[in-house]
Every structure is written in structure tokens, then in C-alpha cells.
Amino acid sequence: MMTVSYSWLMALSAAIFTIGVAGVLIRRNIFVMFMSIELMLNAVNLAFVTMARRMGSMDGQVIVFFVMTVAAAEAAVGLAIIISIFRNRETVNADELKLMRW
């Protein structure tokens, strides 16, 4: 059987990324939007690891390491903000959180 071509892995990454984008654009619930963002980040991580493996260097994995760290920090702060919003507005519906409009 043939071995896996890296382009398949890249395609998988692209697919997951696209699904994540769809989630961000379509869902109203802020949590789900957030999770979709995490999805996108992971898709990109997959792409990085794939290409690192292809090129035989560790740089891609270092990037993934940092992405994970930053994603953790971002998740923490983001969730804190969501909690704060929920305290004031009692809703996590993105359609109703339109303060910065004209």
C-alpha cells in the first residue's frame, strides 16, 4: 500500500480549518465560536507538524509549542471576558452583543 502523502495531511488540515471558519461565522453562541477558533488553531498546528516532518527540522514543532502556549493564554483571557460579559448582560448570544455599533 502506498504511504501517506503529505498533501493528504495538508488537505485534512485545510478541511478542519474550513470547518472552524464556518463555525465562527455561523454559530451565535460565543462559546461555540471560541471553540471553533480553537479548531482553527489546531488545524494550523497539524499543518506545521506535517511540514516540519517533511523538512526534517524541529522548527515547526517549536512553533506548535508556542501556538499551544499562546492559545492557552488566549483561552484564559477570552473566557474571563465572556464571564464578565455574562455578568453584565446575562447572555452569550453574539447577535445581542452589538455595543460597538454606530
By the rule CB under 8 A, 62 interacts with another protein: yes
By the rule CB under 8 A, 68 interacts with another protein: yes
Rounded least distance, CB 47 to another protein, Å: 10
- CA–CA separation, 64 and 47 (whole Å): 10
By the rule CB under 8 A, 89 interacts with another protein: no
By the rule CB under 8 A, 94 interacts with another protein: yes
**Cell digits of residue 10:** 495538508
**Cell digits of residue 6:** 503529505
Rounded least distance, CB 67 to another protein, Å: 10
**DSSP secondary structure letter of residue 3:** P
Rounded least distance, CB 63 to another protein, Å: 9
**Identity of residue 88:** N
> Is residue 44 within 8 Å of residue 67, measured between CB atoms?
yes
